[in-house]
Amino acid sequence: MKKKEFIYSTSSNAFQIEGARNLHGRTDSIWDWFTKTYYKIPPINSTEREINSIEVSSDFYHKYKSDVQIMKDLGLNAFVYNMDWTRIFPKDENYINPMGIQFYDNLYKELSENGIKPIPILFHWDTPLWLEIKGGWSSKKVLVAFRNYCKTVFKYLGKYSDIWFVNDENKSFTLDGYLGDAFPPCKKDPNEFVKAIHNLNVSAAIAKEEFEKAKIEGYISKDSILGIDDDWSPPIIWNNGNDEIVNKNLMDNYNAWMRDFWIDPNILGEYPKVFWDYLKDSKLDPNIIDGELEYLKKYKLDFIGWNFYRPYFITSKKNNFDLKLLHKEPVENDFGDFSIVLPKEHKNYTKWLWPIVPEYLEVGLKAYKDKYDLPIMIIENGFGDFDDKSKDMILDYERINYLKPILKSIKECKNKDLNLIGYSMWTYCDIFSPSAGYRKDYGLVSVDFNSPIKNRKPKLSYCWYKNVIKSDCKNIDYEKDVLEKELSELLARWDIKWV
């Protein structure tokens, strides 16, 4: 990637926004199966998990042209999009669905013609169901299928972008889907977990090999880069005593497991020591075959994406303290020496009890810089809330007030030697959230999910982010009356075609 202007983007994900799940040759994925099987609608205003239908979602599949015009009006120069593997390969690893390719070609062409760079992510948790039946990410069969997927996407869509990602949040996908059962494929099996992790890492090396071949064949520009998107939450030591060595060891163990383990294999070409210790201690077999470790070293990725929402408060698993000090029981994994906690003494949380500590964005960027020294882009950062949509104007001040210090930090960090190339907000419009269904609003643009045409409507945060982008992060503060007037005027001229 050539040195260009700073990237201002929003991000979204096919199974959360696209809809049209069984149109034009597409078949089910594991998320279609999961939402149909575990469908659940809790009471209104509850933060209990909602698992709802994704058959239509925000209907981006049919509304992408008007959505692109809304993005253009917002001032975006990029759009990060997690693609749908199943739309392109709906039957097996060989049959290419022409209408699936056509949709993404149409979308990326529309974005490009409106000055918005598509930034595709190849995989985000949504394994084709036909492939899951064959073993999914726990099976080596996934690697053959993924290679064909990469070849196809690079051949037909590679011309549209010089920035690509292989996958998004392997941590959440595998911890909740392979060690746990909160996400599909609901394995809850440590052996399945380590096999899936290793195959995901090999798949990224496969993508890099095919990426380089696509450059030679002229499908992708020579200066294009391919990265991995990580969701590390920087640690904050809580209630663990004052021994500096003990606390440093705790933090090092946390970072080894919650950051290094997930990206070292694809950035440095090797697993951290904790992985090998875990395999030995737990007697697990990741099914590493001859040549795969060398393959990881040969095909390392070019840069890092980072999904920053919050830090984690951590303490030692051995630490004894009063549970009344916490909002919930500590979270402990099958590995590591740490517990993740939600202390009541920290007063700033979202409604879903995500700690709000914006200064840890810069802390995290410095940590990535110190260890990896590669280009980095914020791929997800946003604020989930219950937006009040009952009035003409959606005044989402809580979202703006969460984002303000984040963008101030972006303004400072992009002028420092931290390798930051861009910022992408989660998300463009309201979507299906894996953790909360349609009740957790993330969008700058509202979607009326009760409307048959999924009406779009800008929120106050839309106007605010538009000003931030237009000023290149200089106008981050706002005057309430002025901003509300801007939204009122925007609504008055909102194009009927954008609804």
Which residues does 155 contact at the CB level (< 8 Å), separation at least 6? Answer: 214, 217, 219
DSSP-assigned letter for residue 179? I
Does the structure show a pLDDT above 60 at 448? yes
What pLDDT, on a 0 to 100 scale, did the predictor assign at position 160?
98
What pLDDT, on a 0 to 100 scale, did the predictor assign at position 2?
57
Confidence of residue 7 (pLDDT cuts 50, 70, 90): very high
Q: Rounded to 5, what percent of the chain is helix, strand, coil?
A: 45, 15, 40
| CB atoms closer than 10 angstroms to residue 249 | 13
C-alpha closest to that of 121 among 235, 46, 16: 16
The tens digit of pLDDT for each residue in 369-380 reads: 999 999 999 999
What pLDDT, on a 0 to 100 scale, did the predictor assign at position 72?
98
Confidence of residue 3 (pLDDT cuts 50, 70, 90): low
What pLDDT, on a 0 to 100 scale, did the predictor assign at position 4?
72
**CA 111, CA 424: separation in Å to the nearest integer?**
16
% of the chain exceeding 70 in pLDDT: 99
Distances (CA, A) of 144 to 35, 75, 148, 346: 27, 40, 7, 47
C-alpha closest to that of 86 among 140, 15, 139, 156: 15
| Beta strand segments in 38-138, E | 78-82, 117-123
What pLDDT, on a 0 to 100 scale, did the predictor assign at position 496?
86
Q: How does the average pLDDT of the chain come out, rounded?
A: 96
DSSP-assigned letter for residue 472? T
What pLDDT, on a 0 to 100 scale, did the predictor assign at position 375?
97
What pLDDT, on a 0 to 100 scale, did the predictor assign at position 252?
97
What residues does 376 pair with on adjacent strands?
A: 304, 420
- Farthest CA pair distance, the chain: 65
What pLDDT, on a 0 to 100 scale, did the predictor assign at position 312?
98
What torsion, rounded to 10 degrees, do the Cα atoms 42, 43, 46, 51 define? Answer: 20
The tens digit of pLDDT for each residue in 321-357 reads: 899 999 999 999 989 999 999 999 999 999 999 999 9
| Beta strand segments in 2-152, E | 7-13, 78-82, 117-123
Confidence of residue 224 (pLDDT cuts 50, 70, 90): very high
Confidence of residue 48 (pLDDT cuts 50, 70, 90): confident
**CA 68, CA 108: separation in Å to the nearest integer?**
10
What pLDDT, on a 0 to 100 scale, did the predictor assign at position 499?
87
**Segment holding 60, helix H or strand E:** helix 60-74
Domain covering 7-225+306-311+353-498 in this structure, CATH number:
3.20.20.80
Three-class SS state of 326: strand
Write the single-letter amino acid at 431: I
Confidence of residue 1 (pLDDT cuts 50, 70, 90): low
The tens digit of pLDDT for each residue in 17-31 reads: 999 999 999 999 999
The tens digit of pLDDT for each residue in 175-220 reads: 999 999 999 999 999 999 999 999 999 999 999 999 999 999 999 9
**CA 41, CA 302: separation in Å to the nearest integer?**
42
